[in-house]
Structure 1
């Protein structure tokens, strides 16, 4: 009975994580229509994506506290209410600021559901099953963004961009009904004090850093000032976490030299995949003149390939470890992005699509194994903190990537258009410039993963994607 109860509980949490991940990519194919309705540019519209991920990152930062303070059941319903409220506000929005508020409501739900699902798996799954259950959760998180562009594209093309918010509204309502009967606390809530100063510092630091990246191409000096200020505030946040009794984000795992590189690799992989999910629809629509449905449908192939290679990467990691899996995966990413840089100015959708499939395949190979490599090096007592750090790194990377790359794209497209180039061609050159920056970052990933995976191999320990996180 207990086993059946746990399976039903996890099924509901998997479904909620699926909808949360679905919401991440919900507006990507709608941005062009929203820009037209509200009379805004790409740099402003991208805050529907960047702001979403920024708030998600902040919520994920305090997710461990929320999980322990409220308990699973109450936290589940909090997340559902935010997702439903965000959908309603977005549907009824009459201005861009109101729409942004709706998206930020959505993001709180996402920040709650994804780490909550992972924490619940760690709490109820048997040790030998943790890897399998986490892989299922990872598949849900991958499937959500894969479905979002297609579903959203159909809704936007047929009924307008507001209609894209109805599916998460309706499905989340059904999940909450199921959760009323099936979701239970898996541990007693613990009365803790939330360090408000830490939350404020993380929010301010992330905002300054991400905003600086968004204007790095158009206003380098101002961008540098914002980035430096953001780094300083985040450094203060990190220092504070080591000094207070109940840190918002316990950073002790970062003292482990075998864990730190995995955090960087996870960020590189996530920044790549999430940024491409924003940049590709803009390229297909603004350079090639496709509608939202076509742009969303073309994204389905890369993301499904990503889901498949994620399973392959997990199996290889379980059997052979991080070497040579991680450097090969990041090399695949870099090669695919280099091909996009070359092909995209020619405004050829097929070549860019094939190269994108290569990029997403490479990300699938490395994302989960990079997490497993780091978590397996932690003691069991630090697992929850390691998961929280990696979840935070994922969301931070997902906010940094679009902000940086769309800023580069807009600046390059503007300079090319000013020289007399047509708008579609200028957008193509801007897209190529953004992916070039992403290629350089992927090459850094190749170098770091090479050194890191070799060091793990030299340590004489096999990293597995399955039971390893529960063995230490």
Structure 2
């Protein structure tokens, strides 16, 4: 196996490799948001309750949360091509199972298989970009990835709403199949091996602790909204397992997740900022659709259309932000970006039940402009500081913690919103009046956004300490 350190420069065709990775990521991430709008149809088709149908989302998060920490180990055993093609093959098989599901159980199985593919895909994509691009050119490449990561979920709800209006929910999967097949065929031709197979020791106790820890944490957050007692038990068990997992990774010779990455200050700072930003983003992604459908009484398709311009703007700006990052570093982007995000979320906290859809379009678009200035510059800054042997571990750590923080954000802000609703209704004389119910929803949402604003401000303060990073000296000399 030839690694990037010994591969002649003329053999490194970065463009086709990057395109192969982007196509796969677009297909996988697009399909994640496709299903959200179809949940009502699936409840009717399979005669299941809302509590049951939510497992299509919870199980997905659970599998990805469990798999992420192991990606650094897996990348040591599989070549770049093997890992990418395996990920896309899992995703393709899962999509076929979903599309032809005769009952809810098979649909859930298909989602789990899809999640295995998605869980492998993002780490291999980021790790490959780190290997094939020098630090001074990574911003632009990461910006292209940012385009996909934000563009795909932005158009997902709108496209799925359109498809469901003319076809059945199965076509949400059937229409993805040709794209997945094309991604695999394109990668087979153009994707080259750029990582080194090191065959690290398979540490079974660490894998079990990681599975119990991250799985318990994500499942506990998902179950907590339905059953607080069970959710709390899983959270406690998950946190205990994680503490033992961290201790073990620090004391064994070959950890599956090398926590030495946290010895690099900008990586640690960037990771914390990303956790807070992801919590903020998920608060918006969960609260705004609820507000638009329950307070403004818009349809799912209309709500998807309102969110579309922001996602498109974010996607189009991400490559440009990457080039600005390469030239000027992170501070000129991240600090104003987080200030913009904090200001917009403050405006969200002051929404009423009679706002115009155009106002929501403008606010959400400005929010995602700020997001485009933050996500990839922060990620690249943190990862640039790491030596090559820690790239897989750094990407696995970042992706795992972002996944978990997204789950925490969803559970936290929905809980705050519900608590705010209940608090409002306790103070009124007739809590069953339709007007009071609407006011309670808006009041609860405003309270949740106020907490989200505090989280955003915390990330803004931390960004003031962010500095431009460079690869270790010996690796710059190699480049």
Q: TM-score surpassing 0.5? A: yes
Distance, in Å, in 2 between the alignment partners of 1:4 and 1:263 is 30
- Return the match for 1:395 from 390, 403, 406: 403
Q: Is the 8 A contact 2:68 2:396 kept in 1?
A: yes
CA RMSD of aligned residues (A): 3.5
How far off its partner does 1:102 sit? 1.9
Note the 1:274-293 alignment, pairs <5 A. 274-293=282-301
2:253 match: secondary structure: coil
Note the 1:3-402 alignment, pairs <5 A. 3=11, 5-38=13-46, 44-214=52-222, 223-311=231-319, 313-323=321-331, 325-346=333-354, 348-402=356-410
- Change beyond 3 A, Cα 1:245–1:441: farther
How far off its partner does 1:190 sit? 3.2
- Change beyond 3 A, Cα 1:132–1:322: closer
Q: Is the 8 A contact 1:262 1:374 kept in 2?
A: yes
Q: Is the 8 A contact 2:140 2:321 kept in 1?
A: no
Distance, in Å, in 2 between the alignment partners of 1:73 and 1:45 is 35
- Residue 5 of structure 2 aligns with which residue? none
- Change beyond 3 A, Cα 1:344–1:45: farther
How far off its partner does 1:103 sit? 1.8
- Residue 432 of structure 2 aligns with which residue? 420
Distance, in Å, in 1 between the alignment partners of 2:286 and 2:474 is 32
2:175 match: secondary structure: helix
Distance, in Å, in 2 between the alignment partners of 1:253 and 1:295 is 41
How far off its partner does 1:408 sit? 4.8
1:264 match: secondary structure: helix
- Change beyond 3 A, Cα 1:109–1:274: farther
How far off its partner does 1:95 sit? 4.1
Distance, in Å, in 1 between the alignment partners of 2:440 and 2:143 is 38
How far off its partner does 1:117 sit? 1.5
- Change beyond 3 A, Cα 1:43–1:330: farther
Distance, in Å, in 2 between the alignment partners of 1:245 and 1:54 is 28
Q: Is the 8 A contact 1:22 1:144 kept in 2?
A: yes
Q: Deviations over 1:383-413 (max 9, x none)?
A: 3322221122222223333344445556666
**1:437 equivalent in alignment to 2:433:** no
Distance, in Å, in 2 between the alignment partners of 1:408 and 1:36 is 30
How far off its partner does 1:252 sit? 0.9
Q: Is the 8 A contact 1:210 1:399 kept in 2?
A: yes
Q: Is the 8 A contact 2:37 2:157 kept in 1?
A: yes
Distance, in Å, in 2 between the alignment partners of 1:271 and 1:177 is 36
1:25 match: secondary structure: helix
Larger radius of gyration: 2
- Residue 464 of structure 2 aligns with which residue? 454
Q: Is the 8 A contact 2:22 2:145 kept in 1?
A: yes
Structure 2, unpaired ranges of 5+: 1-8
Deviates more, 1:350-359 or 1:73-82: 350-359
1:190 match: secondary structure: coil
Structure 1, unpaired ranges of 5+: none
Taking structure 2 as the reference length, the TM-score comes to 0.83
Distance, in Å, in 2 between the alignment partners of 1:209 and 1:112 is 20
Distance, in Å, in 2 between the alignment partners of 1:299 and 1:469 is 45
- Change beyond 3 A, Cα 1:36–1:133: same
Distance, in Å, in 2 between the alignment partners of 1:412 and 1:468 is 53
How far off its partner does 1:88 sit? 1.9
Distance, in Å, in 1 between the alignment partners of 2:418 and 2:279 is 18
How far off its partner does 1:363 sit? 2.0
- Change beyond 3 A, Cα 1:441–1:275: closer
Deviates more, 1:284-293 or 1:297-306: 284-293
